[in-house]
Amino acid sequence: MTEEPKAFALDERLRALAHPVRRQLVADCLGAPRTAGDLVARCGLAPASVSEHLKVLRKTGLLILERDGRYRRYRADPDAVRATARALERLVAAGGRTMARSAGRPEGPPGVVG
């Protein structure tokens, strides 16, 4: 099972999910593993663009590449997706204070000295 993401890993995952195509790729791979060709057809981008998005999502652990003979399929890691969602829920519940403290940053919005 994937542990709760550390501040750096969470930042990387949120950065990856900031792009709408990447969010769609994760959503597409949650239900069932998908080939890169299937994902290209689903999002309508050039294969090279989809490949770059998949690389970012793999690097953050949100997608996992599975090799099955000649086929390569991508699936979302539900534990990583849930851990990221839980971290966001805690951030919202704490009003932003908990995550700022755990990351070693002062509480409150950036640039505000309190």
**Are 58 and 77 a contacting pair, CB within 8 Å?**
no
Residue 25 exposed, middle or buried by CB count within 10 Å (0-12, 13-18, 19+): buried
Q: Which two tokens stand for residue 17?
A: 């999910």
Mean pLDDT of 7-35: 94
Strands (E), 2-51: 34-35
Mean model confidence pLDDT for the chain = 85
Q: How many CB atoms lie within 10 A of CB 29?
A: 24
Domain 7-86 has CATH 1.10.10.10: yes
Sequence ranges of the domains in the chain: 7-86
User: Is the Cβ–Cβ distance between 17 and 87 less than 8 Å?
Assistant: no
pTM of the model as a whole:
0.76
Q: What is the pLDDT of residue 114?
A: 38
Residues 22 and 56 sit within 8 Å (Cβ to Cβ): yes
The predicted structure's pLDDT at residue 77: 97
Q: Which tops the pLDDT comparison, 41 or 1?
A: 41
pLDDT in the model for residue 111? 47
The string of pLDDT tens digits covering residues 47-98 is: 999 999 999 999 999 999 999 899 999 999 999 999 999 998 988 888 756 5
Measured torsion, CA atoms of residues 71, 1, 23, 60, in degrees rounded to the nearest 10 = -80
Q: How many CB atoms lie within 10 A of CB 74?
A: 23
